[in-house]
Structure 1
Amino acid sequence: MAQAVEQAEDGTSVVARVVALLRAFAEGGESLSIKDLAGQLALAPSTVHRLLDQLVAAGLVERTPGRRYRVSGEFSRIGALAARKAGVLRLARPVIQEVARETDETCMLGMLLPQTLTMMFVDKAASARPLPYAVRMHRARSLLWGATGLCLLAWLGPSAVERVLRRGEPSPLDGRSPPDGAALADRLARIRRRGYALTRGEQTREAVGMAAPVFGASRQIVGDLCLTLPQSRFSAADEERFARLLTQRAAALSRMNGYQPAPPARG
């Protein structure tokens, strides 16, 4: 009886179909329709609709306007947690610890969640000097506010930046509106020129954030190496020293992760 429940009419397990649906979302665009999924997976639209209803109820998929669907923040969070056992997360642990020792400040690894265009902190190495504020781990955060999000956004393409800006996510501290497109583009260009992001009091009051990009084998940004500390412990001399250390260690982590710079263009 139990086995019969687990099998679809064509013998394919329900679990296999759910996995196929989730894979389609992970590898597809920002959102998909029932028609898109039915055609891609060779399933009846009614079957896709039923499975999507179950995934929505489980909090792994959410409905969007226009009768479309996309993965939820919870799906991305679970994926990032599972990835702790492999890839850049495993490689990053000693790097994070080394930066925390050398700066005597808290160092973290931020990871881009590409499906939702958000980020989260997935690992942290504390220093001997405690933080006077809490850092929420494994929670999706906006890319529009704070050094860690802006660093990721600076190395994403224009279409991704436009999508993030179109959401209009307000400041998490005072609710102010995000900058307009021109102001944001100028800010991101400055981040790219100097190779790191620096913010004060954007995600947490009286906190300084610094972040340098980490890239993968595809030459796409996958995360960033971050420092957070109270403004009372931060000086101009610290910025130069911390920025040099962060960018060097982030570049080393990128190389360990398979990143190779693009060859120079031939004239």
Structure 2
Amino acid sequence: MTQASGYRERNSTADRALTILQMFDDQRLVLSAAAVAEHLKVARSTAYRYLQTLVQAQFLTEDGRGGFRLGMKVLQLARLARRSYGLGDVAVPVMRQLTERFHQTVLLTRQMGQAVVCLEREESREQYVRLSYERGTILDLNAGASALVLLAWLSEPQQRVALQGAPLRRFTPQSIVELEPLLERLRAIRADGYAVSYGEVDAEAVGIAVPIFRSSGEVLAAISVVLIRSRVSAEQIDEIRHALLEAAAHLSHEAQLLES
């Protein structure tokens, strides 16, 4: 056999192996050698040889009744595939749904040291007012709901260290810049399970933020909506809050899958 023909044979074998793996679906969780032979248009002995190759590589396992199931190697690869996608990859479709539903800016933020970073931002095409939050924007720790909700689940000593070491700027008369009132605010946010800020960074803006949790119970990130107060009612704010709580619960579950 020449080098070229040997390569073609190996490549053909790989193609057949991938075809076999693609035969599995929700309705077909177990394959037989006969079904594989029919699908590949090969002899049953040839199909069995392909199946045994996949068994040896742990992509398949025999079920004891002549059938073949997906093996541990597939589970391992699935776990690695989940981990290869960052939270942003999971969060952006959810954020996009929220922007299309409410026509407001949706942010994904995360605490990094003594600052909060905007990881992702989504805006609706039908949104008339644009807000100046770009990906990579650094926010102060006391800068409204999307920042405060990230601190609320830290222990009080951790909160004190973070806030005492960070600049606490007064953006509007509603901004909280004193340590003890900030700690009291964080306790209230934790009790509520979310944060709502009115005019603390921009006098006309309302921020609603909900935490996304790791499996350990630590806050990984926050998802939030920033809107112009004069353009929404109290009922709409409440509706957005409920939608954010649902979105954050879903993203917490997805984030914990990524960690597993």
TM-score, normalised to structure 1's length? Answer: 0.59
Larger Rg: 2
Q: Is the 8 A contact 1:169 1:177 kept in 2?
A: no
Residues 177 and 238 (structure 1), Cα distance of their counterparts in 2 relative to 1, 3 Å cut: closer
**2:153 aligned with 1:155:** yes
One-letter code aligned to 2:139: R
5 Å matches for 1:58-77? none
* Distance (whole Å) between structure 1 residues aligned to residue 119 and residue 96 of structure 2: 14
The alpha-carbon deviation at position 174 of structure 1 amounts to 4.7
Q: Does 1:93 align with 2:79?
A: no
State the partner residue of 2:116: 119
Matches within 5 A, 1:89-238: 89-113=88-112, 116-127=113-124, 128-167=126-165, 169-174=167-172, 178-181=177-180, 183-238=181-236
Q: Is the contact between residue 121 and residue 137 of structure 1 (CA under 8 Å) also seen in structure 2?
A: yes
Query: In the superposition, relative to structure 1, how do residues 133 and 93 fare at CA in structure 2: closer, same or farther (>3 Å)?
Result: closer
Instruction: State the alpha-carbon separation in 2 of the partners of residues 177 and 92 from structure 1.
Output: 29
Q: What is the rounded CA distance, in whole Å, between the counterparts of 2:165 and 2:250 in structure 1?
A: 34
Q: Distance in 2 between matches of 1:185 and 1:164?
A: 11
The Cα shift of 1:204 comes to 2.3
Q: In 1, distance between residues paired with 2:131 and 2:94?
A: 23
Asked if the contact 1:132/1:230 (under 8 Å) is kept, the reply is no
Residue 89 of structure 1, CA deviation = 1.2
Task: Show CA shifts across 1:48-86 (max 9, x none).
Answer: xxxxxxxxxxxxxxxxxxxxxxxxxxxxxxxxxxxxx73
The number of equivalent residue pairs is: 172
Distance across 2 between alignment mates of 1:161 and 1:250: 22
Return the offset for 1:219: 2.2
- The code of the aligned residue for 2:222 comes to D
Q: 1:221/1:129 Cα in 2 relative to 1: closer, same or farther (>3 Å)?
A: same
Give the Å deviation of 1:139: 2.4
Give the TM-score, by structure 2 length.
0.61
Contact 1:120 1:139 in 2 (8 A): yes
Q: Once the two structures are superposed, what CA deviation does each residue of 1:147-206 show, in whole Å capped at 9, x if it has no partner? A: 10111111122222101221362325259771232x222211211222111112222231
Determine the structure 1 residue equivalent to 2:237: 239
Distance between the aligned counterparts of 2:117 and 2:191, measured in 1? 24
- Find the counterpart in structure 1 of residue 10 from structure 2: none
User: Aligned partner of 2:87: which letter?
Assistant: V
- Counterparts in 2 of 1:242 and 1:177: CA distance versus 1, 3 Å: closer
Residue of structure 2 aligned with 1:248, choices 236, 246, 249: 246
In structure 2, stretches of 5+ residues that fail to align are 1-83
Q: 1:160 to 1:241 in 2, by over 3 A?
A: same
- 2:106 corresponds to which letter in structure 1? C
Letter in 2 for 1:163: V
Looking at structure 2, the residues matched to 202 and 235 of structure 1 have their Cα atoms a distance apart, in angstroms, of 18
SS at match of 1:258: helix
Residues 202-259 of structure 1, C-alpha deviations (whole Å, 9 max, x = no match): 2223111110001123321111011011111122112211111001110110001117
Distance 2:189 2:209 in 1: 10
Conserved? CA contact 1:208–1:234, under 8 Å: no
CA 1:234–1:94: 2 relative to 1, 3 Å: same
Shift of 1:131: 2.3
